[in-house]
Amino acid sequence: MATISERLDQLEREIKKPRFRQNRGKANEVNYWVFDYDPKKELEVREWINYMEHKNAKGTSEYTLAVFDMYDLMIDHLEKKHFIDKTAKLEQNRGLSRIMESVRRTLRITDADNVIVSYIAEYIPENAVVFLIGIGKCYPLLEAEEVFNKVLYNMPSRFADVPMILFYPGTYTEQELIVFNEAKEHNYYRAFRIVR
């Protein structure tokens, strides 16, 4: 079994391939990918993403790396709406499921113009490879299946060929999402594992 370092090296090699960035192969399906990893390796994955951002910022790559932290996007929006201050009382009175419902409604997560879609669409550069990170920090307020079905599938069509890679702390079998290798999320079939 490959180490996390070997898998991250393989990921870097993969995103450098022009074929990967041109949405060729896999029957020209949507260009959505999952890099799943052992949650215990979270800090190594974060360090590698920082390394890739700095390396890409030098301008020597054939693509522009765009990193979007789902947690940061969610928290920034909730702070703007003054929702953070209300959550403790809401959880105490109504429970976690009520907070989850309220957060999703505030983010307009079920709408085509949801907050995360709008932000990502505004800031995707030309010739981009997109890393979506922070989904583990969002759980259970925002789950991976929702990122695919309610965020990525609502992206404007001009971004259909942009490769988007969700970094997933857990296991993705191309059928099941198991967050933190403990809790099964909804089944999901349309994204591909980028590295085995």
pLDDT, position 27 = 47
Question: Which neighbouring-strand residues pair with 133?
Answer: 69
Whether 117 contacts 155, CB under 8 Å: yes
How many beta carbons lie within 10 A of that of residue 129, not counting itself? 25
Model pLDDT, residue 163: 93
CB 142 within 8 A of CB 109: yes
Is residue 42 within a helix (H) or strand (E), and if so which, with residue range?
helix 42-57
3-state SS, residue 121 = helix
| Other CB atoms within 10 A of residue 90 CB | 15
The enclosing H or E element of 133 equals strand 128-133
For the stretch 118-150, pLDDT in tens is 999 999 999 999 999 999 999 988 888 888 888
Task: Write phi, then psi, for 117 (nearest 5 degrees).
Answer: -60, -50
Q: What is the pTM for the complete model shown? A: 0.91
* R_g (Cα) of the chain, nearest Å: 17
Q: Which of 15, 25, 31, 17 is nearest to 160 (CA)?
A: 31
- The pLDDT value recorded for residue 160 is 85
CA nearest to 185, candidates 194, 172, 196: 172
From CA 169, how far away is CA 172, in angstroms rounded? 9
State residue 25's pLDDT score: 44
In whole angstroms, what is the distance from residue 94 CA to residue 13 CA?
A: 48
Across the chain, what does the average pLDDT equal?
88
| Phi-psi region at 24: left, alpha or beta (left = phi > 0; alpha = psi -120 to 50) | beta
Per-residue pLDDT reduced to its tens digit, 10-46: 999 999 998 888 765 454 567 889 999 999 999 999 9
